[in-house]
Structure 1
Amino acid sequence: MPEPTPRLQLLTRAGCHLCETAAETVTRIGAEAGLVPALVDVDEDPELRAEYGDRVPVVLLDGREHSYFTVDVLRLRRDLALGRPPDGGAGEDR
């Protein structure tokens, strides 16, 4: 049986300063919700690199794109508190 997708993921790549900042933020916000985010290097998976490589860092919540380039902190806190997936994609509600 495949392992379940972690609820909170951050897609990153080596040498990405935005990714470093996002990792700190997502780790902190995840801890508030009792979660440890999975940090995933898009360059280690050709499919992820093709899909997300041009806009890392990307926050995924329940396997769906939540935000990219920067972490939408207020929206992420809200969605984690409500226990729901993103409400329509990155960039909304900023």
Structure 2
Amino acid sequence: MPQPSDFARAFGERLRAARLAKTPKWSLERLGRRSRVHWSYIGQVERGEVNPSLLIAGRLAHALEVDLGSLTTALPAPPPGKDPDE
């Protein structure tokens, strides 16, 4: 499996911090129920293994009652995409 990018890892760390900042601390399962996103996928996002769509990121932020911008501001540069001409 490829290594997570700094971009994905930073987003996941922020998401995990926002989840654990809830009182009492929210489990992955609880965030999954609230956001309608499967808890195992949320775990992959938190570990930087996957990049969520904007819709999923929005659902997660809304469920956590945080601004989506707070999860995305000043992230490292995203990894380069594949050149479509190659």
Larger radius of gyration: 2
Output the TM-score relative to the length of structure 2: 0.35
More helix per residue: 1 or 2?
2
Structure 1 length as normaliser, TM-score? 0.33
